[in-house]
Amino acid sequence: MNYHISDKLPKFEQFAILHEASGLIKSKKGSYTKEQLFQAAKNSWYHISIYDNDKLIAFGRMISDGIYQALICDVMVDPDYQKQGLGKQIIEELVTKCKTSGIQSIQLFSAKGKKQFYHKLGFEERELDAPGMSLTI
């Protein structure tokens, strides 16, 4: 396996193919084009990509103020490459970036069915009397 990691943004075509293959695009609230989702990735504070030769097989990104808060977004792994530790590797790379930047608070919204995956990596659910909340408009 010839996997390599990059903190450079992948090409639009690669990003769009992975977004579609991973099923992440279907879980988005609202209707966004692939171009808009790519622009969101471009606007991120940090992103990490894993490639098998030239094929993008895993991706994750964060938005942050660069000081004390970060939000992990859009962690996706090509279904043909799941169960190989690539999602874990993406999260570890994102957390390492936070540690080296002094960020101590990392948030994320988990896709349905992925809660245990994040628990294994040390993430905890918010307290019941301090829930995470969202507003969809």
Q: Is 118 a catalytic residue?
A: yes
- Active-site annotation holder among 3, 46, 51, 118: 118
Helix segments in the chain, DSSP class H: 12-22, 34-42, 86-101, 115-120
Q: What is the pLDDT of residues 114-127, one digit of tens each?
A: 889 999 999 988 88
Cα separation, 40 vs 36, whole angstroms: 6
Q: What is the pLDDT of residues 23-47, one digit of tens each?
A: 876 666 668 888 999 999 999 999 9
pLDDT for the residue 133: 75
Give the chain's mean pLDDT: 90
